[in-house]
Structure 1
């Protein structure tokens, strides 16, 4: 489960991690007497580039920006709330993150001097700038470990103690709440030499719900009402089918074709265009998804309805590659709709998976 930025920052604050003074709202505000950042609260990456972060100097400007964002969709997600934060005098930007390495069964603490940019780009272009420390789950992450990371990264001595303390507190929050991912990007050094978490990402492990009271978080209630079954995975190919068995088989086909599933998503039987759109937007809300494999065997599910939903989402994600296996009720009409919109479709799972990998590898 993903937390919104304002929820993650409330947790950070409770663990003693400095965050900007802020206010969450879903309507206009009465008084702003200093410069603020107006930030859309959406669970998608790259919201800044998509126009989801704006700036204001007074009440009138702030309300104009609030109204603009509340009437906006960012990467297919409607903005329901915005976060108003005090403007920060930024001197430097760093990156801190912790994630689960499922292959090694360890937590990985990461630090980089390249804050404020996509960490995936840093990993791809300059991996040497990411310092990593692997932690066994039965052991504690000690402050000296964080200090050693910072020394290795070449951080100035006056900053080391402050940043190491924040990394230690971040790990404590990650551990206590059964996190699967936690990030501060950027972790800011201000012109006044303060260290502040300017942004926050916190994903919680779905399998740990029974240990915690997550009803306070927005996405918990939404997940309970979900129209489809979704499981987050580590790859970059979203796998969508109608029926659990068919979706599992689709995952195997994708792996056999050289891909790695980024999710298991079963839209179930009788899905209409709207349900398919919601499912696709859910799958594509995850960063790093390169392709979508959709496997539909239509019975009560109409292929033309599925195609309409695919086409609507496809318009918003021109850089993501789609491949569809579509058979069953109204399949001819469904294929016609896909064909007219330039979306690849096949009549077998094998061919669809191979086609998708060919498209991805050719770009």
Structure 2
């Protein structure tokens, strides 16, 4: 049975809150999800890559229209891409409350960048992954727009089956990798990394060849792969995903977009990275829930859900929706829950005005699973 709209919404929230799970049956790979759910803006991830010698587009960041205009002029590029910086996907098809459509714009006229930035900065951008009211844009990235002749997919992630990091790649980039794995699993390639040796030259070259890079580009891609692994180790990442890892007409291998997830247990030695965390875009309730290791996602209804287990929580939301009710939240207590966590969870739910103002005295749905 197809997933309901409610469970799809919850699933999107969970993917945004933690490392997106990728399960490739052929290789039995699973991503490790982070606990604190640190998310970085696109430009922050690109700065980290730059510091590790990874090739990215030239870019600047601006928080006002005049600075965005000056950045466009400094780039001196044939074409410029202006991107609103928010922690949500679907920016290209989003809508601003200023009336501007799209959070990603291409232009060959530098003067247009200032005008576009003026209609982005300070306004809320609504996408399929944001709350209904959208997210206020505080910064924009002004970047050099490069042509891409070919797109590939590359990631380094933690694999429980191998007890360490693995490289996963595909010559089919620029699309949903789960879809590629499902329809053409033969186009998914994996290299297990020995944590003591790191990425060997032969592994990097083999992965580059499997991604379809030829001639001088093969060695260039292999070099980028090794640099990405250096970044993976340097920042204590659980995932570095580049989609696409592209090839330009000028013969350059460029990381056009990246997602980095971090091991929260390493926060004590990654203070500079975790200091980049922008909590202003986070739902205050979700932020408070995370402090107690609770997975919470706010929804639009008025029936509270208090559940032990993510699958059961989504099923509960679906059942409520199926019978005409509207769940107010997804809340997974997780395994090994403590008394204090239960107490804090109830505090979060009772503080929600959608629930507190509900006239129905029995507007609660409480589902628990026994601890074994």
CA contact (8 A) 1:37 1:55 kept: yes
**Partner-residue secondary structure (3-state), 2:89:** coil
User: SS of the residue aligned with 1:162?
Assistant: helix
> How many equivalent pairs are there?
281
Alignment of 1:1-363 (within 5 A): 1-28=38-65, 29-31=68-70, 32=73, 33-34=76-77, 35-50=79-94, 51-70=102-121, 71-74=123-126, 75-76=130-131, 77-214=135-272, 217-219=275-277, 227-230=287-290, 239=296, 250-252=307-309, 254-255=310-311, 301-302=349-350, 305-307=353-355, 332-333=359-360, 347-349=365-367
Q: Distance in 1 between matches of 2:281 and 2:268?
A: 15
Structure with the bigger RCO (C-alpha within 8 Å, sep 6+) is: 2
CA contact (8 A) 1:304 1:334 kept: no
The alignment yields a C-alpha RMSD, in angstroms, of: 3.9
- How far did 1:215 drift? 6.1
Q: 1:232 to 1:138 in 2, by over 3 A?
A: farther
Structure 1 residue 201: Cα displacement: 1.8
Q: Is the 8 A contact 1:27 1:66 kept in 2?
A: yes
Q: Alpha-carbon deviation of 1:224?
A: 11
> 1:193: Cα distance to partner?
0.7
**Would the alpha carbon gap of residues 120 and 232 (structure 1) be closer, same or farther in structure 2, given more than 3 Å must change?**
farther
Per the TM alignment, residue 225 of structure 1 is displaced from its structure 2 partner at its CA by 11
8 Å CA contact retained: 2:155, 2:240: yes
Provide TM-score, normalisation by structure 2.
0.64
Residue 194 (structure 1) shift:
1.1
Contact 2:307–2:366 (Cα < 8 Å) also in 1 = no
How far apart, CA to CA, are the structure 1 residues paired with 2:245 and 2:141?
18
- Taking a change above 3 Å as real, the CA distance of residues 36 and 330 of structure 1, as seen in their structure-2 partners, is closer
Of the structure 1 ranges 53-62 and 191-200, higher mean CA displacement relative to structure 2 is found in 53-62
Structure 2 unaligned blocks of 5 or more: 1-37, 95-101, 299-303, 316-326, 333-342
Q: Are the counterparts in 1 of residues 84 and 139 from structure 2 also a CA contact under 8 Å? A: yes
Q: CA deviation at 1:306?
A: 3.9
Q: Distance between the aligned counterparts of 1:144 and 1:25, measured in 2?
A: 41
Partner of 2:6: none
Deviation at 1:349, TM superposition (A): 1.0
CA distance in 2, matches of 1:300, 1:152: 49
User: Deviation of residue 182 (structure 1)?
Assistant: 1.0
Q: Could you tell me whether the CA contact under 8 Å between 1:306 and 1:334 is conserved in 2?
A: no
TM-score, scaled to structure 1: 0.65
- Whole-Å separation in 2 of the counterparts to 1:232 and 1:148: 44
